[in-house]
Amino acid sequence: MSTIKNIAVFTSGGDAPGMNAAIRAVVRTGLYYDLKVLGINRGYDGMVKGDIFEMDAKSVANIIQRGGTILRTARCDEFRTVEGRQKAYDQLKRFNIDALVVIGGDGSFTGADRFISEHNIPIVGLPGTIDNDLAGTDFTIGYDTAINTVIDAVDKIRDTAESHNRIFIVEVMGRDSGLIALRSGIGSGAEAVLVPEIKTDLNMLMERLDRSRKNKASRIVIVAEGDEEAGGALEVAERVKEKFPNYDIRVSVLGHIQRGGSPSCMDRVLASRLGVAAVEGLLEGRMGEMVGLVNGIVTFTPFYKAIKHLGTINPNLLKIVDILSL
Asked if 110 is part of the footprint of ligand ADP (rule: CB under 6 A), the reply reads yes
Calpha distance 245→239 (Å, rounded): 10
Calpha distance 194→232 (Å, rounded): 9
Three-state SS at 47: helix
Asked if 187 is part of the footprint of ligand ADP (rule: CB under 6 A), the reply reads no
Asked if 30 is part of the footprint of ligand ADP (rule: CB under 6 A), the reply reads no
Any idea what DSSP says for residue 175? S
**Among positions 11, 12, 188, 272, the unique one binding ligand ADP when judged by CB under 6 A:** 12
Let me know if 77 is a catalytic residue. no
**Among positions 11, 13, 25, 205, the unique one binding ligand ADP when judged by CB under 6 A:** 13
Which residue in the shown chain puts its C-beta closest to ligand ADP?
A: 107
Sheet holding 297-302, edge to edge: 52-55, 36-40, 6-11, 99-104, 123-127, 289-294, 297-302
Choose between 122 and 127: whose C-beta lies nearer to ligand ADP: 127
Q: Which residues of 69-80 are buried (b: 16+ CB within 10 A; e: fewer)?
A: bbbbbbebeebe
Give backbone dihedrals phi and psi of 77, rounded to 5 degrees, phi first: -75, -30
Calpha distance 305→298 (Å, rounded): 16
**Among positions 79, 143, 300, 303, the unique one binding ligand ADP when judged by CB under 6 A:** 79
What element of type H or E holds 38?
strand 36-40
- Could you tell me whether strands 123-127 and 99-104 are parallel, antiparallel, or unpaired per DSSP bridges? parallel
Asked if 14 is part of the footprint of ligand ADP (rule: CB under 6 A), the reply reads yes
Stretch that binds ligand ADP, among 72-80, 137-145, 154-162, 313-321 (CB under 6 A): 72-80
Asked if 325 is part of the footprint of ligand ADP (rule: CB under 6 A), the reply reads no
Asked if 114 is part of the footprint of ligand ADP (rule: CB under 6 A), the reply reads yes
Calpha distance 152→297 (Å, rounded): 30
Asked if 140 is part of the footprint of ligand ADP (rule: CB under 6 A), the reply reads no
Provide the minimum distance between the beta carbon of 84 and ligand ADP in the complex, in angstroms, as a whole number: 8
**Among positions 10, 44, 143, 303, the unique one binding ligand ADP when judged by CB under 6 A:** 44
Contacts within 8 Å (CB) and 24+ apart, 286-289: 286/122, 286/124, 287/99, 287/116, 287/121, 287/122, 287/123, 287/124, 288/112, 288/113, 288/116, 288/123, 289/124, 289/125
Choose between 80 and 305: whose C-beta lies nearer to ligand ADP: 80
Give one DSSP letter per residue of 120-141, joined into a string. ---EEEEEB-TT---TT-SS-B
Stretch that binds ligand ADP, among 51-59, 76-84, 179-187, 206-214 (CB under 6 A): 76-84
Provide the minimum distance between the beta carbon of 262 and ligand ADP in the complex, in angstroms, as a whole number: 21
Of the residues 131, 133, 144, 227, only one is catalytic, namely: 131
Asked if 46 is part of the footprint of ligand ADP (rule: CB under 6 A), the reply reads no
Asked if 168 is part of the footprint of ligand ADP (rule: CB under 6 A), the reply reads no
Of the candidates 237, 241, 242, 206, which has an alpha carbon nearest to the alpha carbon of residue 223? Answer: 237
Provide the minimum distance between the beta carbon of 274 and ligand ADP in the complex, in angstroms, as a whole number: 16
Stretch that binds ligand ADP, among 19-27, 60-68, 102-110, 317-325 (CB under 6 A): 102-110
The catalytic residue positions are 131
Binding site for ligand ADP (CB under 6 A): 12-14, 44, 75-76, 79-80, 104-108, 110-111, 114, 129
